[in-house]
Structure 1
């Protein structure tokens, strides 16, 4: 459930070893960033899509709306579908504020509560912000569960903050803009599906929708959807440390119907059986023609 909440709130989980002390934060900046987060959080709780758009960094807002348009859902779905509220940072202890270029991170320790049941222990929450003009806006958040590294939790609780110099806690300094800005719902919903035990697979559809899979079986919506006519699929595959290089592999693209009872239509597949040679890269095409469109409409 936590993972679902994180994804819906523009939050991700970060993992890795914690590794001095954070810079002293400017008190005015701390108050300003905290106010930005409170306004953003309130807009989510109240399901106020207009205020949410005001307080969310433009690149993040575009990315979220791109996904919603690519799923052919209404804009209100960005907030109305959330399974839980974003965590309240006020009960947490602020450990550090880091600024680089037009980005900033606030790092907290405490009982990060997504209101999904139970009493949470002390974990880390990193709130990220982006500066647009002279105004800071909320970007995203990273949640680190310290259950697997209890010694780090003890040290942080004791005020030993030399663990916060890892790259996962540092602001990026710049912002990567989305490759496309959708203004409305796509015509056809499409999804990538990848099965890649022991491998990392990158997929790009129509030069726009980028997907990364590592040692997993998962699917993601294609940003921009599928197009009438010719569509392009590019992929790369490489063995991960610990992989044998003999594992099976599957890369597929499906078209999704919105008609009840109509099954997904597989329009692209690159599949390798266990022990067979895997191409390190490939570029293929599929065509969405009248026959595929008719099948998606359930006719």
Structure 2
């Protein structure tokens, strides 16, 4: 587990894509902070460069004999870049409790919790063993539940709200062959978050979900496409024509976890370059038909008579 404390504290439960997502979220928060700081500076400059006549008018009504610049504004608090790394096996609820104890003693309870822990491998379901099933569901579903419930209960006890974000997958909604444990566990995570969005909203908790399509990271692709044979096929069914980038999902995660999205809860955002709807449409493969073929097909259709 990794936690960053800055203007918002973030706890992220990570594996596979976790390190890339964490670094990208941190960079996104840095950019937002710097932009806000620059905007604040710009606003201060603007308010102190009014025309002299306007300044005199304002000060005259305040019974001031001459214009004076407004008092200097205190600088914004520094953007803390301190990171605490705490080891934890999310499959073990006692280990999760000890981990949260340690993190709470370091920085207090978090404002943002990102559940991104994952485990996955490709396997025909007829070759799937009970241990294979358990290894994935223990990490993805049980790990997310243990972290979410442990932190949620403590936050409720301390009367503090928080933003919870889960990273699932587009096939949590549709299901998928050859990754049955992952599809089942991710669907369970989504049910958990939707349920808690309804139940724990009264405590100031928000629960949202991102369903990413294929985002190329070393950890995920080394397990799901070890020979590199499927990447071209993935790209061919994505209308935007490319894989996702860690920085892109990090920007979305930063927004959904921030104070700009406080009315967002129980929301599932599909983030896949259009892959899901491309695969779902019955006739979407007609994209490969050439203009000449369309002309020929149109002539054939027009020449058809009867029912």
TM-score, normalization by structure 2: 0.23
Which gives a bigger RCO, structure 1 or 2 (Cα 8 Å, sep 6+)? 2
In terms of fraction of residues, the more strand-rich structure is 1
